[in-house]
Amino acid sequence: MPVVVVANPKGGVGKSTLSTHVAGYFASRGHAVMLGDADRQQSSRLWLGLRPASAAPIHTWDINADLIARPPKGTTHVVVDTPAGLHGWRFKDVMKMADKVLVPVQPSVFDIFATRAFLDDLAANKHVDNRKIALVGMRVDARTIAAEKLHAFVDSLDVPVLGYLRDTQNYVHLAAHGLTLFDVAPGRFEKDLEQWQPICRWLDA
């Protein structure tokens, strides 16, 4: 049972967007998916409450910032959305569960510094296989200087970057209905789905 943990200590980097879409991808493949929300804001749980019955099912279980439990039997794929400032025993417990760790990062100096420190923490954690860690650029406008600095940052790391998701309202509109790119007809989302292809290949590997 693969467990994908989406984590970054910096708030507002797109962890819930990435988590819900990973869960949506797994669900679209017919897997029995559990989306656990260890963030006090409970953004992923709120999103699940908006999800229509006609969409591929994604379930949740009792997971919170004070108790990281194993997912229930019958689950084949797990995604865990983690809180900002993840540290201490909560960090260790989540990482014990993780088969893969996805680290979202936005093109800002604050996100870059926080992410570098977090990657150092991951490298020092005996429960995390460094080969199972990957970065995803979030809300990236390739035309900006900030995007150039983000590219320079990830190029300096010994961690793969799976892709750069563009800054688009598509994610906002889909989230408002409990949906992901993988729940709707491709149509106007082709560009976004193309950006997800390397991420999907990494998830399936």
119-149 per-position pLDDT tens digit: 988 888 777 777 899 999 999 998 899 899 8
Q: What is the mean pLDDT of residues 77-103?
A: 83
The two tokens of residue 93 are 């417990």
Between CA 162 and CA 190 the distance in angstroms is 18
Q: What percent of the chain has pLDDT over 70?
A: 92
Q: What is the mean pLDDT of residues 24-33?
A: 97
Look at residue 64 in the predicted model and tell me its pLDDT. 54
Contacts of 82 (CB under 8 A, 6+ apart): 5, 6, 7, 15, 38, 39, 94
Look at residue 93 in the predicted model and tell me its pLDDT. 78
At the top level of CATH, which class does the domain 3-204 belong to?
Answer: alpha beta
Can you tell me which residue has the tokens 């080969």? 131
pLDDT tens for residues 54-70?
999 999 876 555 555 56
**Which residue, 99, 140, 96, 110, is CA-closest to 10?**
110
DSSP tag of 169? T
Q: What is the mean pLDDT of residues 24-35?
A: 96
Our measurement of the distance from residue 42's CA atom to the centroid of its chain's CA atoms, rounded to an integer in Å, reads 14
The two tokens of residue 134 are 């990957």
